[in-house]
Amino acid sequence: MAEQPSLTTVFSRLSRFLTVGALISGAGVVLVSCTSGDKLPPPCPEVRVDNATAQLTKFRDGAGRAAGDVEYRVEISGFKGSCKSDDKKVDVSMDADFIVTPGPAAQPGKVPAYYFIAIPQFHPQPVGKQIFELTVDGSDKKLEPRQIHVSDLHIRIPLKKEQTPASFDIYLGLQLTRDQLEYNRANVQPPQ
């Protein structure tokens, strides 16, 4: 790879498609092994989905938190990816799947939801967490789940001498408000 490594992590989205995904248990998953020429490829960074940020429940405005107050739910339903590395950087390509389910209090129009990709080793630098919009049109009042596929998420991680791609963790999650995070921590059961 002739491209010079950057000190920043580069994230980009290229396209979105509809697809079906499988439910994530919240555990870390290692991407397909990295490729780096003729020698045995090192493992890719581990991708993790924390149970507390794997889903979002949006209630209508007000104090109500009953099932009838739910405008919509969003879940991370799957992801897959691969990586390529050399001595100076690792390039990760990833796809992510989401399920958006309208609730009884659904409002017509755009459903605002955001997801993030974070690399804790770069915290608190701004490149340590990038937030992306997940665009869903909620104009029809059907209460059927919609599957959203986001493809071609790219992450470039600079490597220091003797550092391997597997020394980094990548977190995928839904960007939540403090109230949504507290709701998840109180109501979402951990995987068994």
pLDDT digits (tens, 9 = 90+) for 33-78: 554 456 777 889 999 999 999 999 999 988 888 999 999 999 999 9
* 27-33-36-42 Cα dihedral, nearest 10 degrees: 60
Structure tokens given for 100: 């958006």
User: Can you give the pTM of this predicted structure?
Assistant: 0.75
Instruction: Read off the tokens for 148.
Output: 């959203």
Lowest mean pLDDT across 2-11, 39-48, 92-101: 2-11
Over residues 21-33, the mean pLDDT reads: 40
DSSP string covering 5-17: P-SS---B--EEE
Concatenating the DSSP letter of every residue in 20-78 gives --PPP-S--EEPEEEE-SSSPPPPPPEEE--GGGSEEEEEPSSS--SGGGEEEEEEEEE
Q: What amino acid occupies position 39? A: K
Name the amino acid, one letter, at 76.
I
Q: Examine the pLDDT at 132 and tell me if it is beyond 80.
A: yes
- Mean of pLDDT over the chain: 79
| C-alpha closest to that of 69 among 78, 57, 77, 79 | 57
Higher pLDDT, 37 or 89: 89
Hey, is 192 helix, strand or coil? coil
Q: Which residue has the higher pLDDT, 35 or 140?
A: 140
Minimal CA–CA distance to 45: which of 25, 30, 66?
Answer: 30
